[in-house]
Amino acid sequence: MSEARNILEVEGLCVSYGKVEALHSAGIKVGQGQIVTVIGPNGAGKTTMLSSIMGVLPHTRGVIRFQGLEVGDAEVEQRVALGINLVPESRALFGEMSVEDNLLLGAFMRHRLGHRDHEQTMDEVFQIFPRLKERRAQHAGTLSGGERQMLAVARALMAKPALLMLDEPSLGLAPLIVREIFRVISDLKRTGVSILLVEQNARAALQVADYGYVLETGEIALEGASDQLIDDPKVVESYLGLGGRR
Amino acid sequence: MDLQIALLLGQDGITNGAIYALLSLALVLVFTVTRVIFIPQGEFVAFGALTLASFQAGKTPGTLWLLIGAGVAVALVDITLALRSGVFRRIPGIVGWNLAYPALASAIVFLLKPSEFPLLAQIVLALALVVPLGPMLYRLAFQPLAEASVLVLLIVAVAVHLALVGLGLLFFGAEGSRTPAFSDASFDLGLVNVNGQTLWVVGASLLLIVVLGVFFERTIYGKALRATAMNRTGARLMGISTVMAGKLSFLLAALIGAFSGILIAPITTIYYDTGFLIGLKGFVGAIVGGLASYPIAAAGAILVGLLEAFSSFWASAFKEVIVFTLIIPVLVWRSLTTRHVEEDE
């Protein structure tokens, strides 16, 4: 019954940039309603993995199953329609549009599929991010770094995703804001959405996650329940110890 | 030159400028959404005008054959792809838009007599034949190259332009056409006599600009197009498909082009290749706006119209030279004052 409980199953995923293979047969699973994190150093292939699951990057081999359905050949838009959503590292906001319009477009696919409930969803999203409500008429490009990240997450939530993938949500943010972002991530779990979180900030990621994978040079080096990983000597040494950042 | 002549030239300039403004908006739209510099924009102007003229002359416009041909080509490509990937549910839509629609259009053209239709119905029918060519063209020529560089897209755009001009000659012949004015009314405004068609052109252009403004500012599809122009990756992640955005922007560009042609046909004699020059003047306007700003592009295009009108009075032989030379100081000014924008992705 693993298919029923796992919302996402990735097996033997290989992705290449030209002749350089960035992911070698990587496999991960995300359980329904879980927060799963993939940690690892810069250049390990974390972003590549998320891009490939989203369909932005083609994979050369491997299987991507979402809710038991093979989606490896589907277009990005079809994956959005199925309920997969990615908040990319760049945030990819629409800078010259208001916060409200950014959020509205987050519900674009739902609108196309005939769900005209964006106003209600927006109210729910504003409850999670009250600061965005204050800034609703402001252009996204004028927001602070933390607010932009919150808008990026909020915009993804407008699609009511079943699987939310976050790429380095804490990147470049002040410690206080990082804490708030992670508080929101652990709160989101209560709404039932499954989350795949990619982070360099390993300690914070493992604290909110249920399960973790360590990705090194394109391969899964280690995996386990996050409370075990957080005590694992190898993880402590490489990612959490004094050598680790933050 | 006395005041009366200046007012007449101004009226001329604003009339043509309104058309150039519409075309410059279409060029900005297509470029920001798809990165295509839409050289064939002018062919839509000519096709719109000449299709209407054909109806009025009781002839079958060649654009009908183009619509049928392009529809069959798109249907073949898309049905093959759908069969190969096993997405059968797409087939009814493909058949409907690319085969059934042109068939319906042919039925109207052949079974009813468009030459006896009232003017408004003829205009609608001409638009119905020409406008769908926009998205079909996108599907055939540009969609397979969506990831290509701006230069490659430009080369394809030039090729499409040349092909369409050739088809225009084949369909409509070398003679020009002029359609009757929408209204014969004319008004005396003090020194100058304003004719009805001028008001039609300016009014209809303004109306179309307002409608487009509402579309872009108030509707989710308009916002989706703007979002694609701002951040293509971000838009895809929202489920806004690049293909949909491309087809929609080409549809609007074709609509604007054909509509402009229909508006201007009572004022200027339109030949199969007139569209190119008209489109280029819209392009100069769009360049003034850096191919990015709608209001500056529209203002630039009206300036082009006025400059053209006045230079035709002072140095009529150099009219085009003067208009196109404008592009040099504009480019110098833009390169000195605007920051360089990297080509995205």
d(CA A119, CA A106): 12
Cβ distance of B220 and A96 shorter than 8 Å: no
* pLDDT: which is higher, B52 or B186: B52
Is A115 a domain residue?
no
d(CA B72, CA A48): 40
- Strand positions, DSSP E, chain B: 186-189, 192-195
pLDDT of B345 over the 50 cut:
no
Q: How many domains does chain A have?
A: 1
Give the structural domain span for B114.
24-184+196-271
d(CA A3, CA A124): 30
Grade residue B288 by pLDDT with cuts at 50, 70 and 90.
confident
- pLDDT of B319 reads 82
Question: In which region does residue A229 sit, left (phi positive, over 0), alpha (psi from -120 to 50) or beta (all else)?
Answer: alpha
Cβ distance of B239 and A112 shorter than 8 Å: yes
Is A139 a domain residue?
no
Is residue A109 less than 8 Å (CB to CB) from chain B?
yes
- pLDDT of B247 reads 95
d(CA A184, CA B170): 65
d(CA B345, CA B342): 9
- pLDDT of B343 reads 45
* B323: its two tokens: 């208009």
> How close A218 gets to chain B, by Cα (Å)?
23
Is A109 a domain residue?
no
Cα A60–chain centre separation: 22
- pLDDT of B340 reads 56
Is B93 a domain residue?
yes
Q: How far is CA B325 from CA B276, B330, B335, in A?
A: 17, 9, 16
> How close A41 gets to chain B, by Cα (Å)?
24
Q: The complex's ipTM?
A: 0.91
Residue of A nearest to B234 (CA): A92
The domain that contains A11 carries what CATH number?
Answer: 3.40.50.300
Residue A27 half-sphere exposure, CB side, CA atoms within 13 Å?
7
Is A5 a domain residue?
yes
Question: Which residues sit opposite A63 in a β-bridge?
Answer: A11
Contacts of A77 in chain B (CB under 8 A): 236, 239-241
- pLDDT of A46 reads 92
Is A55 a domain residue?
yes
Look over chain A and give the mean of its residue pLDDT values, rounded to a whole number.
Answer: 90
Q: Which of A108, A111, A115, A116 to mutate to test the interface with B (most CBs of B within 10 A)?
A: A108
- Whether residue A199 contacts residue A168, with contact meaning beta carbons closer than 8 Å, is answered with yes
Nearest to B156, CA basis, from B279, B35, B23: B35
Q: Which of A81, A92, A101 sits opposite B231 (nearest CB)?
A: A92
Is B119 a domain residue?
yes
Question: Which residues sit opposite A15 in a β-bridge?
Answer: A23
> How close B224 gets to chain A, by Cα (Å)?
7
Cβ distance of A94 and B240 shorter than 8 Å: no
pTM: 0.89
- pLDDT of A241 reads 59
Cβ distance of A77 and B85 shorter than 8 Å: no
> Strands across the sheet with A69-70, in order?
A20-31, A6-17, A61-66, A69-70
pLDDT of B344 over the 70 cut:
no
- pLDDT of B185 reads 75
Residue of A nearest to B238 (CA): A106
Is B288 a domain residue?
no
CA end-to-end distance (rounded Å), chain B: 53
Is residue B235 less than 8 Å (CB to CB) from chain A?
yes
Is B206 a domain residue?
yes
Is A22 a domain residue?
yes
Is A15 a domain residue?
yes
- pLDDT of A244 reads 42
C-alpha angle B264-B269-B271 in degrees, rounded to nearest 5: 105
- pLDDT of B341 reads 53
- pLDDT of B146 reads 85
> How close B241 gets to chain A, by Cα (Å)?
6
B232 residue type, one letter: R
Is B331 a domain residue?
no
Give the structural domain span for A19.
1-82+194-246
> Strands across the sheet with A194-199, in order?
A84-87, A163-167, A194-199, A35-39, A211-216, A219-225
* B102: its two tokens: 């042109």
Q: Which of B81, B147, B232, B237 to mutate to test the interface with A (most CBs of A within 10 A)?
A: B237
* A33: its two tokens: 């309603």
- Whether residue B21 contacts residue B256, with contact meaning beta carbons closer than 8 Å, is answered with no
- pLDDT of A142 reads 94
Cβ distance of A93 and B239 shorter than 8 Å: no
- Whether residue A71 contacts residue A64, with contact meaning beta carbons closer than 8 Å, is answered with yes
* A244: its two tokens: 């680790």
pLDDT of B339 over the 70 cut:
no
Is B343 a domain residue?
no
Grade residue B147 by pLDDT with cuts at 50, 70 and 90.
confident
Cβ distance of A54 and B237 shorter than 8 Å: yes
Cβ distance of B234 and A92 shorter than 8 Å: yes
**Which residues 313-342 on chain B approach chain A with CB closer than 8 angstroms?**
none
Q: How far is CA B282 from CA B47, B81, B83, B277, B302, in A?
A: 17, 37, 41, 9, 9
Is B323 a domain residue?
no
**What are the tens digits of pLDDT across the range A193-234?**
999 999 988 889 999 999 999 999 889 999 999 999 988 888
**What are the tens digits of pLDDT across the range B180-197?**
888 777 777 776 777 788
Q: Which of A95, A101, A109 sits opposite B239 (nearest CB)?
A: A109
Question: In which region does residue B90 sit, left (phi positive, over 0), alpha (psi from -120 to 50) or beta (all else)?
Answer: alpha
* Digitized pLDDT (tens) for each residue of chain A, 246 residues in all: 444 579 999 999 999 988 888 999 999 999 999 999 999 888 889 999 999 999 999 999 999 999 999 998 889 999 999 999 999 999 999 999 999 999 999 999 999 999 999 999 999 999 999 999 999 999 999 999 999 999 999 999 999 999 999 999 998 898 888 999 999 999 998 888 999 999 988 889 999 999 999 999 889 999 999 999 988 888 887 777 554 444
H-type alpha helices, A190-219 = 202-208
**What are the tens digits of pLDDT across the range B93-119?**
899 999 999 999 999 999 988 888 888
- The interaxial angle of helices B274-288 and B41-56, nearest 10 deg, is 140
Is B159 a domain residue?
yes
